Structure 1
Amino acid sequence: MTDEPDPGSAEAQGPVTITEELAEALADKREELFEEFGINDGFPPEVIREAETRTEGVTQEIQDELDERQDLRDLTTWTTDPADAQDFDDAISIKREDGAYRLWVHIADVTHYVNPETSMWEEAVQRANTVYLPGYTIHMLPPILAETVCSLVPQEDRLAHTVEMEIDDETLSFEDVEIYKSVINSDERLTYNECEERLENEDLPLHAENTLAFELADRMHEQRKEDGSLVLNPRRDRAHTIIEESMLKANKAVTHTLMWDRGVEAMYRVHPQPTPDQWNDALKEIQELNGVSIPGQAWGDDPRLAVNAALEEAPDRQLNKIQRAVLKVMPRAKYMNDPFGGHHALNFDIYGHFTSPIRRLSDLINHWIVHENDVPENLVELCDRASDKQKDGETVERLYKQFMEENGIDPHAVNNRGMEVVSEEEAKHTV
């Protein structure tokens, strides 16, 4: 499916243009930051060779795996990602049942290819996550693997790790959760814009499925807010809501299963809460913003509900300031082998990551634990490394964006539209 870009859209505006001199300055800045924070840009030759080898003979390998996995290839399944996404590591399926929704979240089965016996695993532990800079990405896994056999591309059989959830119609709680290896075949790859079009037009394919997915996602989103989950992006479109809520539900299902049903350690995501004084400082700063007020009924025992209320009513121009006031007092989330303390921002007693094994070490480790029902001996060390490297990645991103802004480049525009290098002469004629 091809779309004519809206005249005001990022596609219509084209990429951000920069001069060769500025491109060289950006490259020098990246190299400086990578050296300072120990980030490896290129992959060692043996890791590349291993990745290339694992992409050979995959059609027969997947066929052979059908004897050991659930065959879900006839189940209507699709992916939804940004227009510029290079790999698709999650897909969903949904059906309405009597008194329940049945939601499948299919995640690329990365650990089938990347396991503790491989060089790719060792390299992933060193990197710990993918680092996304405006216009530049440093991958955790070799792209030749992540963008091929680990990518849930449409009309191709792919190995997946599926989280199948029966969700009660009234309470939206789990009636049943199954986690298993599968083979899927995605019907279509949608961009977020295309998902919105499918929701609007009942004559387009996947309209009914996306409509049902949004019905469930919207209900889960509203329930989270009512329960005290902090929602810093209150005006996301329907497509983002579908994916965000589906992935949150799957992550929660997996980590609850690991903790309560199996009683095993895992890489749990723990987010401490600010002190009462810190929350008071944040709420005071929010209340003093022009055009922003916190409704009286929201000044209860839970500051998260007060922030949600302020975000709902605030003018668009103040959203970033409210978010900054909150993030300023929020402690960093970290990975731990015990979920003690829960995730404050989400208001989940137990939470962890499972849905992005291509770009996060925590998810890769949790896939391995779910499959093996055993934990790596150095799990605590892996938790600490993932936490530290995430912090490093975020710092590099912040410093790189700051450098871009100092040189007249809008990082947000680059993220949305991409970047193109032109000569000095061409730059003079670019409006």
Structure 2
Amino acid sequence: MSDSEQADAGTAEEQGPVEIDEEMARHLANKREELFEKFEIPDGFPPEVLEEAEARTEDVEAEIQAELDERRDLRDLTTWTTDPIDAQDFDDALSVEERDDEYVLWVHIADVTHYVSPDTEMWTEAVTRANTVYLPAYTVHMLPPILAETVCSLVEGEDRLAHTVEMHLDKETLGYEEIDIYKSVIHSDERLTYTETEDRLDSDGEPLHDDLSLVWELADRMHEQRKEDGSLVLNPRRDRAHTIIEECMLKANKAVTHELMWDRGVEAMYRVHPQPSPDEWGEALQEIQELDGVSVPGDKWDEPRKAVNATLESAPKRQLDKIQWAVMKVMPRAKYMNDPFGGHHALNFEIYGHFTSPIRRLSDLINHWIVATNDVPEDLVALCDRASDRQKDAEQCEREYRDFLEEVGLSPDAVNNRGIEVVED
């Protein structure tokens, strides 16, 4: 999310939706249909997939009760979700504790593979789609929305099945002392928006204030540690709430990858990001240096990621998008591969993979299955290629739709953050 998008998102709760007339609504619908055909993105779900999803969302409480004996019961652990105000589903939740000699951070992810397994129509459909496509004010889901809105949503005040990543962190280094990944039953105490999280952090004595303050302290340290280690941070001015979620999800993804590669030595869907050549990095830094009011620190030219981080922190707000674009132009595309070696250049992680969004990414869905069963799909290489290709198509589709919105006089960021309402006048 760019700096301007964050500003718009921050005020979306007070602003109403973007108003358009019926003719413009038809215009947008026609453009979406054209793009979906061009990129082979299926909008509606086949009846058999919807029927299967409907059947899996019945008798929720009874099914959770039946699962309790086979899972870790974490319902007494203080747990909460943090999402945008307009979120329809809540697929990740956090818990945190400080102990005498360690911190313990729990990242709970909705247990999608309990409901979507390789022998289901929903799994087949997920492989076809490979990801959820997010256009401004319009979403094409990877899995039927009823899952995300019911059994795979960690809603406040209800028991839910989860896949938990429990991380015991060294107090000095925040390195992993122990990683435990297991199926669980959780109970979310509260559903917070990003704005509410910011308010609670400033309000001593309010519910969750102490937990949020602790997790913010950890997230802030993890963020600074990543930058120091050479991780590229293109959004340096994120608020505390977004930073908490981003850093905790990165920590959980990295922990799962560590478990899969170093402890089990299994193939999985790893995220590999090649690095630009030295000449390409040089071109990007030169382009950034020539921007008005921008200066790349002279002592950082030999460490391009750190150079960009330092420049973004001191650059005028009006130049942030241009700096980000100069970097993105030289960055090779990240892709999914069945082994992690090659690393993730932007994050500066030796190995990395996705786990925290199985409701919207095929890679995470498959990694959940591998973690839970140790069963690696035979066609894993083909699945990696498909996920990479479909992500590229989804991003291009979004880019062309955003360009179209600008052509017809609509702000893509405003539409994305505030939604659309069709009005007669």
TM-score range, shorter chain: over 0.9
TM-score norm. by structure 2 comes to 0.97
Kindly state the Cα deviation for residue 99 of structure 1 after the two structures are TM-superposed: 2.6
For 2:218, the aligned partner's letter is L
Distance in 2, Cα, partners of 1:12 & 1:120: 37
SS of structure 1 residue aligned to 2:161: strand
Partner of 1:407: 408
Which of residues 289, 312, 337 in structure 2 aligns to 1:287? 289
Kindly state the Cα deviation for residue 189 of structure 1 after the two structures are TM-superposed: 0.5
For 1:62, the aligned partner's letter is I
Alpha-carbon RMSD across the aligned residues, in angstroms, is 1.0
Distance in 2, Cα, partners of 1:358 & 1:16: 28
Kindly state the Cα deviation for residue 298 of structure 1 after the two structures are TM-superposed: 1.9
Kindly state the Cα deviation for residue 297 of structure 1 after the two structures are TM-superposed: 2.5
Distance in 2, Cα, partners of 1:295 & 1:403: 38
Distance in 1, Cα, partners of 2:12 & 2:376: 45
Distance in 1, Cα, partners of 2:162 & 2:101: 28
Partner of 1:340: 341
Kindly state the Cα deviation for residue 68 of structure 1 after the two structures are TM-superposed: 0.3
Distance in 1, Cα, partners of 2:299 & 2:279: 20
Residues 272 and 331, structure 1, Cα contact 8 Å, conserved in 2: yes
SS of structure 2 residue aligned to 1:184: strand
SS of structure 2 residue aligned to 1:95: strand
Partner of 1:182: 184
SS of structure 1 residue aligned to 2:124: helix
Distance in 2, Cα, partners of 1:83 & 1:383: 33
Map of 1:310-349 to 2, 5 A cutoff? 310-349=311-350
Q: Deviations over 1:293-316 (max 9, x none)?
A: 1122222x3210000010010011
Q: 5+ residue gaps in structure 2? A: 1-7
Distance in 2, Cα, partners of 1:367 & 1:84: 27
For 1:381, the aligned partner's letter is A
SS of structure 1 residue aligned to 2:87: coil
Partner of 1:83: 85
TM-score norm. by structure 1 comes to 0.96
Partner of 2:244: 242
Kindly state the Cα deviation for residue 384 of structure 1 after the two structures are TM-superposed: 0.4
Q: Deviations over 1:375-399 (max 9, x none)?
A: 0000000000000000000000000
Residues 260 and 266, structure 2, Cα contact 8 Å, conserved in 1: yes
Distance in 2, Cα, partners of 1:159 & 1:302: 44
Q: Deviations over 1:391-420 (max 9, x none)?
A: 000000000000110000101001111111
Map of 1:135-174 to 2, 5 A cutoff? 135-174=137-176
Residues 136 and 415, structure 2, Cα contact 8 Å, conserved in 1: yes
For 1:12, the aligned partner's letter is E
Matched, 1:12 2:14: yes
For 2:175, the aligned partner's letter is S
Partner of 1:275: 277
Kindly state the Cα deviation for residue 340 of structure 1 after the two structures are TM-superposed: 1.1
Map of 1:15-26 to 2, 5 A cutoff? 15-26=17-28
Partner of 2:231: 229
Partner of 2:398: 397
Distance in 2, Cα, partners of 1:220 & 1:165: 14
Distance in 1, Cα, partners of 2:194 & 2:12: 13
For 2:179, the aligned partner's letter is V
Distance in 2, Cα, partners of 1:278 & 1:308: 17
SS of structure 2 residue aligned to 1:66: helix
SS of structure 1 residue aligned to 2:13: helix
Partner of 2:3: none
Distance in 1, Cα, partners of 2:155 & 2:405: 33
Partner of 1:34: 36
Residues 102 and 166, structure 1, Cα contact 8 Å, conserved in 2: yes
Kindly state the Cα deviation for residue 147 of structure 1 after the two structures are TM-superposed: 1.1
For 2:358, the aligned partner's letter is P
Partner of 1:429: none
SS of structure 2 residue aligned to 1:178: strand
Partner of 1:3: none
For 2:213, the aligned partner's letter is T
Map of 1:339-378 to 2, 5 A cutoff? 339-378=340-379
Distance in 2, Cα, partners of 1:231 & 1:398: 22
Kindly state the Cα deviation for residue 172 of structure 1 after the two structures are TM-superposed: 1.2
- How many residues align? The count is 417
Partner of 2:116: 114
Residues 13 and 85, structure 2, Cα contact 8 Å, conserved in 1: no
For 2:154, the aligned partner's letter is L
Kindly state the Cα deviation for residue 135 of structure 1 after the two structures are TM-superposed: 0.8
Residues 264 and 374, structure 1, Cα contact 8 Å, conserved in 2: no
Kindly state the Cα deviation for residue 254 of structure 1 after the two structures are TM-superposed: 0.1
